[in-house]
Structure 1
Amino acid sequence: MTRLLRLGVALLMLCATPLLAQDFPQPADPYVNDRAGVLTPVDEDAIRAALRAARSETGVHITVLTLPSREAIAPGLTLETFATALFNDWGIGDATRDDGILLLLSMQEREVRIELGRGFASQWEGVTDAIMEKTLLPAFREGQYARGMKDGAIRLVEEVARPFAAGEAPARDLTGPLVAGGAFGLFALLGARRRIGNLTTRLRRCPNCGERALRRSRITDMPATRHASGKARRITRCGSCGWETVAYINLPRLKTENRRSGGGFGGGSSGGGGSSGRF
């Protein structure tokens, strides 16, 4: 009987081994690891620049990972279990704040996951649910994987990382996706400055009809790089009468990465919070 019991325990340990010690792929870059090859070099550089800038400004580390198949790496694990285990294996985010974010795309399984660090309260899942439903899944169902990853990453910066770092509560109305063309230029300004500017615009009356219906958006015509400045347009439009004005903006060159705040992983962990989608 004792021998049978020992044999049973040994079999259980053997079955549990894949769950306890997965051989996860290791990151080659702190911000973008496109193992599925769905991103163009331009998209990859744009995402990396946005996430690097966001981390420098807010301290929140967001990383993007695409895989040909997660099942090939860890057979039997659910998407959620896989994402949490990989997140903790990599140590995404700061170890004291646990404020990392993982955006994971698995092509063969047609799944996408936003995994949040332990530092995010459950209310932030309402924000990530909206990003999943309004930005990621619609793009992926159209086969626009690069666009979905790029726009999804930018929304995570603007609607999760920046307000979280500023101590703000999660926003409730997140149904409107960001304008893709203006996504590249958003990381050039501090989040607080952007929010204050939008608030003051909404409080002003339209010079044409007098209603408080002004909204401001920005479109980047030429993204800034480390070697050249960029160009953008800031558009103020009245939602009541359609009046519109355009201001032209010069975007400063991107700064060289600060190695003390930009590279590597900080030892953060996740407790399984976030949002999942299947397309």
Structure 2
Amino acid sequence: MKSYQSLCLKLGLNMSLGLVLLSLPAQAITIEDVPNPRGYGSSANSWISDTANLISPESEAKLNQMLSALEAENGTEMAIVTVEQTAPAASPRAFTTDLFNAWGVGKADADNGVVFLISRGDRRAEVVVGYGLESVLTTSKIEKLLQRQAVPNFKQGDYDQGILDASKAIVSELSDGAVASTSGSSNQAGLAKILVALGGGGLALVGVWFRRPLKKCSRCQNPLQKMSTSQLSAHLSDAQKVAIDINSAHYSGWQCSDCNFSTVQRHKHWFKGYTKCDRCQEPTLMFSNRDVLTPATRYHSGQAQVTRVCQCCNHIDTKLITLAQLSDNSSS
């Protein structure tokens, strides 16, 4: 599991502002329901998964351009996600953290990923930051920029502008100049809660959590030691080695010096051109082809068969997908 720091901003607005925050009843959602903007079939320049439709096309274009420039500048990867609510997850923070880990945001050797999530139904904004950036995007900076850039706009129901302004501020902190001028770590493990007054008598509760992976033996509770590259290689399966070769995942190994217990953790890369093979249980399935079985028309949807082949065991996986019905102005 990637290490990270998580900051959540709860927008505790009073009922006088509630009208602008009302939304349609939201259905339960899981992290699997959130489209990965860097997944197979997505645009190479997309960094946004706007499932709640809070971001205008104009702002989305600006944000994608900005985030692509940031990634080209220093390798930092940042995803922006909107959802109506995060139930049935334990909390919005847990939902965002699980999404961060599932997508593997950030470069494997730098842990330099950021996920900025806005949940309209929960009235919360969450920022999860890889520990490779903890000295650059500090907790105090996140708190200040969200209070200055996001909260005033969110209070007015202008999520689009709030997301745009807050994202600009985050990217500014993550620019090369900021990275070059900051070193060391300024964060300590623990929990901090701060009450910040908002206009109209409302309060914003800012909770800052730091959580590093627990590296204790599950058998004897003694500290685990990280394996060297050669030690890890001896513990990897053939499928795991293939996943490394095709760059779909990387792995870390931990071993107990007292009872010899060992464990290998998989860290999937954000680009999901590969999916998990049911036989190998590793992300080694690669897209092969798509055959249209029933073309979509203006009157009905279509159907296609997608074929993927495992790069380790040659297992062939086929799935049927639905092709969207054509609009009236679409060509057949």
TM-score for the superposition, normalised by structure 1: 0.50
Q: Which one has the bigger helix percentage?
A: 1
- Indicate the structure whose relative CO is greater, using CA pairs within 8 Å and at least 6 residues apart: 1
Greater share of residues in strand: 2
Provide TM-score, normalisation by structure 2. Answer: 0.42
